[in-house]
Amino acid sequence: MAMSVWAPALWAVIETYDFDTELQRKRYHHYVEELRCPKCQNQNLSGSDSAIAQDLRRQLHRMIMDGKSDTEITQYMVDRYGEFILYRPRFQAATAALWLAPVAMLAIGVLVWWRMAAKNRRARNAPPELDAAQRRQLNELLDGDDSQGASSGRGEP
Amino acid sequence: MQRVKLFIPLIIFAVLAVVFFLVERRVQTGDYSPTALPSALLDRPLPEFSLTTLKGEPIRKDQLLGDVFLLNVWATWCPTCHYEHPFLVELAQRGVNIVGVDYKDGKPAAIKWLEDKGDPYTLTIFDPEGTLGLDLGVTGAPETYLVDAQGVVRFRYQGALDAKVWESEFAQLYNQYQSKGAVQ
């Protein structure tokens, strides 16, 4: 069972590609991490052994060796597989909610925190005034406490 | 007010539960599939290509145009294609124009498959490297594209094309674009 779970990860990338420069190698590795395998939903190209991921890696290598720019490569992938293939989708009307939701949530969080903090500060700075009835009650409590303390006989010589 | 605030987490939970339940039900009834992606080619022209057919004749995109057709991506290594094949033969007998794309396959195996099981394709494009598949945005086999007479992709279906899928997804579109193509 453990074998069958781990096996795909072990096979993952079987082919090796040659690059002329370090930059080409870096760009390739950046793209196989950033591009999503269209077949397997939640794996990137580097982690997938599906036929389509192999083809896309080969195509990616070819485009990098041909000196294609990042914009050209990204556009090539999106033209074929849609925004889905980008783990970091570009900012568009359709992806706006995706990009803006975290900012909006943070803003709501900050707003709530700020209001709660302001309320706390107000409460601490201005101790509540007691009305006449409350004052009487307080005095009674204090007096009662006093007499109780006396009647307990604690500390009497 | 303070009371209502206490129930906010419960309300959020209830709303999410209802949303998830409804989505899950759509998945189960087949209305929605999380793995079915919209094709990036929709309402765009079929990509250009220059390959050969299974018979070895050169084939280009221009030669396919002029009538509505289905472009069916298949391979002998694909079990779902095996299941799908008899219905394609039936569709071809009804007069539907189907062009095959033999995707990342071996030629002898593919020719034998068509000899054994019947050949529903007006012609089969041989795509051993998967280059046409890549340009089509194929994620696997089988996939079926509906292409109109002008060569514009109108619909893409991922998975086996059977009678039920044909009736619910393809038939109306196919008739619609066929009558449109005839008028022009």
The alpha helices in A43-95, defined as continuous H runs, are 51-65, 70-81
B34: which chain A residues are within 8 Å (Cβ-Cβ)? Answer: 41
Residue B143 lies in a domain: yes
Alpha-carbon distance A97 to nearest alpha carbon in chain B (angstroms): 18
pLDDT digits (tens, 9 = 90+) for B40-97: 888 999 999 999 999 999 999 999 998 999 999 999 999 999 999 999 999 999 999 9
pLDDT digits (tens, 9 = 90+) for B82-103: 999 999 999 999 999 999 999 9
As given in the structure block, the two tokens for residue B120 are 């529903």
Verdict on whether the full-model pTM lies above 0.80: no
User: Could you report the predicted ipTM of this complex, rounded to two decimals?
Assistant: 0.74
Residue B2 lies in a domain: yes
Identify the band that residue A147 occupies on the pLDDT scale cut at 50, 70 and 90. Answer: low
Indicate if B22 and B84 belong to the same structural domain: no
Indicate if B1 and B48 belong to the same structural domain: no
Residue B39 lies in a domain: no
Indicate if B56 and B86 belong to the same structural domain: yes
Residue A1 pLDDT more than 50?
A: no
Would you call A50 and B38 a contact, using CB atoms and an 8 Å cutoff? no
Indicate if B113 and B81 belong to the same structural domain: yes
What single DSSP character describes residue B166? I
B78: which chain A residues are within 8 Å (Cβ-Cβ)? Answer: none
Indicate if B29 and B51 belong to the same structural domain: no
A51: which chain B residues are within 8 Å (Cβ-Cβ)? Answer: 104, 130, 140
* pLDDT value, residue A109: 96
Residue B140 lies in a domain: yes
Indicate if B29 and B53 belong to the same structural domain: no
Q: Residue B151: which CATH number?
A: 3.40.30.10
Indicate if B51 and B136 belong to the same structural domain: yes
Instruction: Report which of residues A12 and A102 the model is more confident about.
Output: A102
Question: Which of A81, A84, A108 to probe by mutation at the B interface, max B CB count within 10 Å?
Answer: A81
Residue burial A26-41, b: 16+ Cβ < 10 Å; e: rest: ebbeebbebbbbbbbe
B35 vs A41, A50, A51: nearest CB: A41
Indicate if B87 and B60 belong to the same structural domain: yes
Indicate if B100 and B140 belong to the same structural domain: yes
Indicate if B136 and B174 belong to the same structural domain: yes
As given in the structure block, the two tokens for residue B97 are 């124009």
- Average pLDDT of span A52-67: 91
Indicate if B30 and B51 belong to the same structural domain: no
Domain of B27 in residue numbering reads as 1-34
The alpha helices in chain B, defined as continuous H runs, are 2-6, 8-29, 79-93, 107-117, 131-136, 163-165, 171-183
A82: which chain B residues are within 8 Å (Cβ-Cβ)? Answer: 37-40, 137
Query: For chain B, how many structural domains are there in total?
Result: 2
Residue B29 lies in a domain: yes
Indicate if B141 and B56 belong to the same structural domain: yes
Residue A153 pLDDT more than 70?
A: no
